[in-house]
Chains A and B, each alone.
Chain A
Amino acid sequence: MTKVTIEVNGKKVSKDVPDHTILSVFLRDNLNLTGTHVGCDTSQCGACVVHVNGKSIKSCSTLAADVDGSTVTTIEGLVKDGKMHPMQEAFKKMHGLQCGFCTPGMVMSAIDLLQNKKKPSDSEIREWLEGNICRCTGYQNIVAAVKEAASKM
Chain B
Amino acid sequence: MKTFNYHTPKDVKEASKLASSSSAFLAGGMTSVPSMKLGLATYKDIIDIKHIKKLSGIKVSGKSVTIGATTKHVDVATSKEVKKAIPSLAKLAGGIGDAQVRNRGTVGGSIANNDPSACYPSACMALNAIIHTNNRKIEASKFFKGMFETALKKGELIEAVEFQIPEKSNYQKHPNPASRYAIVGVYLAKHKKEVNVAVTGAKSSVYIDKDLSKKLSSSFSSSAIDGIELDSSEMNSDIHASGEFRASLVLTYAKKAVEAC
A contact residues vs B (CB 8 Å cutoff): 2, 18-20, 22, 41-44, 46, 49, 55-58, 61-63, 65-66, 109, 112-113, 128, 130-133
Inter-chain contacts of A42 with B (CB < 8 A): 34, 37-38
User: How long is the Cα–Cα vector from A19 to B37 in the complex, in angstroms?
Assistant: 13
Q: Is the interface of B mostly helix, strand, loop or mixed?
A: loop
CB <8 Å contact, A62 and B99: no
How would residues 159 to 195 of chain B score, 1 for a CB under 8 Å from any chain A CB and 0 otherwise? 0000000000000000000111000000000000000
How would residues 189 to 233 of chain B score, 1 for a CB under 8 Å from any chain A CB and 0 otherwise? 000000000000000000000000000000000000000000000
Inter-chain contacts of B100 with A (CB < 8 A): 43, 46, 49, 56-58, 109, 131
CB <8 Å contact, B99 and A43: no
CB <8 Å contact, A131 and B3: no
Inter-chain contacts of B179 with A (CB < 8 A): 44
CB <8 Å contact, B98 and A41: no
User: How long is the Cα–Cα vector from A57 to B97 in the complex, in angstroms?
Assistant: 12
Inter-chain contacts of B26 with A (CB < 8 A): 63, 66
B29, B33, B103, B180: which contacts A130 (Cβ < 8 A)? B180
Q: Is the interface of A mostly helix, strand, loop or mixed?
A: mixed
User: How long is the Cα–Cα vector from A41 to B4 in the complex, in angstroms?
Assistant: 19
User: How long is the Cα–Cα vector from A44 to B31 in the complex, in angstroms?
Assistant: 11
User: How long is the Cα–Cα vector from A20 to B6 in the complex, in angstroms?
Assistant: 8
Residues A113 and B99 in contact in the complex (CB < 8 Å), given A22-B37, A44-B178, A66-B48? yes
CB <8 Å contact, A130 and B6: no
Given pairs A55-B103, A66-B50, 8 additional interface contacts (CB within 8 A): A19-B5, A20-B6, A44-B179, A56-B99, A62-B104, A66-B6, A66-B26, A109-B99
User: How long is the Cα–Cα vector from A133 to B1 in the complex, in angstroms?
Assistant: 24
Chosen A-B contacts, 25 in total, with CB atoms closer than 8 Å, are A2-B6, A18-B3, A19-B4, A20-B1, A20-B3, A20-B4, A41-B37, A43-B100, A58-B100, A58-B101, A61-B29, A61-B34, A61-B37, A61-B104, A63-B29, A63-B33, A65-B6, A66-B29, A66-B50, A109-B99, A109-B100, A130-B180, A131-B97, A131-B98, A133-B178
B46 close to A (CB within 8 Å): yes
User: How long is the Cα–Cα vector from A44 to B175 in the complex, in angstroms?
Assistant: 14
Inter-chain contacts of A58 with B (CB < 8 A): 100-101, 104
Inter-chain contacts of B34 with A (CB < 8 A): 42-43, 61
B30 close to A (CB within 8 Å): yes
How would residues 28 to 71 of chain B score, 1 for a CB under 8 Å from any chain A CB and 0 otherwise? 01100110111000000010101000000000000000000000
CB <8 Å contact, B1 and A22: yes
User: How long is the Cα–Cα vector from A90 to B182 in the complex, in angstroms?
Assistant: 35
CB <8 Å contact, A61 and B1: no
**Quick one: closest A residue to B43, CB to CB?**
A20
User: How long is the Cα–Cα vector from A19 to B45 in the complex, in angstroms?
Assistant: 10
User: How long is the Cα–Cα vector from A62 to B1 in the complex, in angstroms?
Assistant: 13
CB <8 Å contact, B5 and A61: no
6 closest pairs, A vs B, by CB?
A131-B98, A19-B6, A130-B98, A61-B33, A65-B6, A42-B34
B2 close to A (CB within 8 Å): yes
User: How long is the Cα–Cα vector from A56 to B48 in the complex, in angstroms?
Assistant: 20
User: How long is the Cα–Cα vector from A133 to B179 in the complex, in angstroms?
Assistant: 11
CB distance from A42 to the nearest CB of B (A): 5
User: How long is the Cα–Cα vector from A44 to B97 in the complex, in angstroms?
Assistant: 9
Inter-chain contacts of A44 with B (CB < 8 A): 178-179
Inter-chain contacts of B180 with A (CB < 8 A): 130
User: How long is the Cα–Cα vector from A55 to B73 in the complex, in angstroms?
Assistant: 13
Inter-chain contacts of B36 with A (CB < 8 A): 20
User: How long is the Cα–Cα vector from A126 to B200 in the complex, in angstroms?
Assistant: 26
